[in-house]
Structure 1
Amino acid sequence: MLNRNAEALFWIGRYIERAENHARLIDVHYHIQQEEDFQAEGHKWSRLIDALGVRNEYLQQFESFAEQDVLSFITLDLGNSNSLFSCVHQARNNLRTLRQHLPSELWDIANGFNLWLGEQSVADIMSSPHQFYQQVKERTAMFLGAEQSVMLYQLLKLRLEIAHLHLQLAVRLHQREYVIIKEPAGCFQTLVKIKRSHEGFEHIGQQGRAGSS
């Protein structure tokens, strides 16, 4: 279960990272176009469509590369599986299946991000592009930071479960060994050593959990 949760979190994080990359690419594009002199207005935005690899999908809906159409398609269009909103939406939907296994904070961040994007319009973007994509980057950073903390906790729990399994295996092996050679006193002393060793490992794990909280 822990392995599956960690893997699912990894892919959820990839969706959020893709959304962050989109925001950075679009934000940088705005700065570049202010410094360069394009002969054709449409060329400014066709380059962005090509950079995201969605030219065919875009041309199925639009005939020209107008700023408003391009921004709407690559940022807010849920019909475009590679749009910024689609990436966040997919991450949020996948995260919903893990809600019972994760801190509520992670869900709250992803769900709030998804709801916020759903309330935005292309007019909101065009009124202040840098501010809009800066907010996207801040929200992705918040989610990824929280996700890393959760993944570390999940991996620590996995290590502790493995340690418990090793303890059980060691106890059974030594019980079998001392039953065969009929030395119960030696068996008891060995089991005490194993238990103390395991308790030391658990103490380290508890310190790790306290440090991460």
Structure 2
Amino acid sequence: MRGKTQKWLDRLRQSDHALVLLFVFSALEATIVPIPLELVLIPYMLLERQRIWLLATIALAGCLTGALAGYWIGLGLFDSAGQWLIEATGATEQFEQFRQTLQEEGFFALFMVGVTPVPFQVAMLAAGATDYPLGWFMLAAGLSRGIRYYGLALLVLMFGEQATEIWRRHSTTVGVSLLAIFVLTLILNFL
């Protein structure tokens, strides 16, 4: 890891509020900060391997909290706050495309957002704006982001320092592979 990043992560780890900050970072990444949480989460997991599953769980909880907030913005405040958020993140075209995909594909479209490069902000606002059922939205977000964060933990445990580079170069491939492993595991367990 680079010097400044290492120092920053060391300060974060030593903070009494480290886990709360991870939760907040994850919630912000899900709502208004279009910077991937993985840039912080992977190095943090590398330094805290003994708590790696806890870190993944906290990242997931923060993400789902942010997703719920974004859903409610899309549902009740889309014309003001939701539209502003889409424009602020530069995702107007992606939003319109995803809204159409969501209406056609539903749950699967939401699920795939968690493992593909479509900004999560687009999905949650579209789900709220189209009044997509909240329970199905949260299930799709929880499953897909769970696969993402627990998959990152597994990647870190298996590949160590190389996990950051693997994720940076192949995030879509890694995400889809983790999804395939998850689906295959479900199929094998229910046969």
Give the alignment's TM-score, normalised by structure 2: 0.31
Decide which structure has the larger Cα Rg and report it. 1
Give the alignment's TM-score, normalised by structure 1: 0.29
